[in-house]
A and B are shown apart, each in its own frame.
Chain A
Amino acid sequence: MKFPVDRDTRRRWFDFIMSGATLLCVALALLPLGSILFEALVRGAPALTPTFLTQSSLMGGIANAIQGTVVLIGLTALVALPVGILTGIYLSEYGKNRLGGIVRLFVDVMTQTPSIVVGIFAYSFIFELSLLGFFPPPLVFSVISAVIALATIMIPIVARTSEEAMRLVPTSAREAALALGIPRYRAILRVVLPSCASALVTGALLGIARVGGETAPLIMTAAWNNDFFNGLNQPIAALPTQVYRFAVSPSLAENRAAWGASLILVLLMLSISIASRAVIRMRAVRR
């Protein structure tokens, strides 16, 4: 059967065009990324004066926001890492049954819950408890409230990444430990966890990067504090909320400052992302 040459040439051209189209798609995705990084650098760098970085909002700086983000991340990690890792241990070591399946499902649902809903939860939780007299109502806008929200976001992430990390440890490692007479819990703590330590760290960093950039829940729980951290029951500043406040402000100067704050935020997030990948690569090289 003879086919006209035209069609073949047409097919070749179409193939070429489609290959170009996929390349175009890649460019379309990189364009916004490049633009964001570029604008953040170009518009943000000039705003990063020493005053800006060391003074609180009372003086027009963002030092309290930086401190606030660090405080919030630290406290959240304090709560979320143990809970998340323990849950991950349960899922990986004890959870190969129906109950484990249910837990896994719930944890997955939680990872996909919109963070603004989590913010509403933290606020309402404190509010309802304050109605019962446990707390004074203003606690809805406090560090505690914010940490409840952020931890709720971080725990499922750490749980899943920890479970996946521990799953990578071969069964033979556990068998060897048991055969030596080591009790199961020790085998987990002293053999399994250390051998996937870098994957655990990556998961933790992933969770931290995620909550470090959260804004919506913070607007509704941490609210705002023009001063530095002054109590767990007080509102607190944070970089994401700072960016938001500056961005929607009518003041042009503050709009410019928004870029400065976001530059710091993006650098923070990027360095955590890069750090977690470096950890993965270190582990791969060591193997």
Chain B
Amino acid sequence: MSAKVHVDKISAWYGPKLAIQDISLDFEEHSVSGIIGPSGCGKSTLIRCLNRMHETIPKARVEGQVLLDGQDIYGQPAVSVRRRIGMVFQKPNPFPTMSIYDNVAAGLRLNGVRERKKLDQAVLESLKQAALWDEVKDSLDKSGASLSGGQQQRLCIARALAVKPEVLLMDEPCSALDPIATAKIEDLIFDLKKDYTLVIVTHNMQQAARVAETTAFMYLGKLIEVGRTRELFERPGETLTESYITGRFG
């Protein structure tokens, strides 16, 4: 079975500075993949190359290919790519001037969906998938910024899911949240994998161990090792991986 997303020798620069080098790996459909590594190893840079967000930074550059269902995303319009590959960010960023409803519907409206009934349906589904519906169903017109941190992040997840992407990228989605909110989102991730392909960047190894089936370890811009999570943690192939996992650095 060919992978849903195949990363082929991706390198990325911030201006003259090389951030990640020759990364190749696969993400299987309907799976959760984790990317771990110490600060500055390039994991955020990598994930941002997967939905063409890296190039929006001035003077940033990408080389290599990322194949989504066999087709290079760098050969298609970025706008269409980002609709199929969604992203949730480290710090929740709902649109504060819009209501909860409008936040979730934002992506749909961009794509021309206007009918109230369709929007209602999509908002309901997305908020349910993000495990937020019960908490906000009576206050959909309240501002997106009026929720707690964990709720805001789930709102952002709902917003990303509303356009029905095939892949969902999550860049350290829980690092700004408390343990309870984190647990809720980790449960959510587990549920989401039936319908989506998820890639999660995390600095928390235990989190990767909890949610990811496959984990990739990065260090100083290079991919050191990738494998099934259990094996990576219990029997790492590389010494570097072992050092990181046992806490010798990072």
Contact = CB atoms under 8 A, between A and B. Distances in A.
Contacts, number: 14
A283 interface: no
Interface in B134-176: 163-164
Contacts of A11: 79, 110
B80 A8 contact: yes
Nearest to A15: B79
A153 to B, nearest CB: 38
Given A3-B111, A7-B111, A12 B163 contact: no
A8 B163 CA distance: 14
Chain B interface size band reads under 10
Contacts of A7: 111-112
Interface in B76-134: 77, 79-80, 83, 110-112
Nearest to B111: A3
Chain A interface size band reads under 10
Nearest to B162: A1
A8 B77 contact: yes
A3 B112 contact: yes
Interface string B33-77: 000000000000000000000000000000000000000000001
B111 A12 contact: no
A3 B110 CA distance: 11
A12 B79 contact: yes
Nearest to A6: B112
Nearest to A11: B79
Nearest to B165: A1
Contacts of B111: 3, 7
Interface string A94-108: 000000000000000
A5 to B, nearest CB: 9
Interface of A: 1, 3, 7-8, 11-12
Closest 10 CB pairs of A and B: A1-B164, A7-B112, A3-B111, A8-B80, A8-B79, A8-B77, A7-B111, A3-B112, A12-B77, A11-B79
Given A3-B111, A8-B77, A8-B79, 11 more contacts: A1-B163, A1-B164, A3-B83, A3-B112, A7-B111, A7-B112, A8-B80, A11-B79, A11-B110, A12-B77, A12-B79
14 contacts: A1-B163, A1-B164, A3-B83, A3-B111, A3-B112, A7-B111, A7-B112, A8-B77, A8-B79, A8-B80, A11-B79, A11-B110, A12-B77, A12-B79
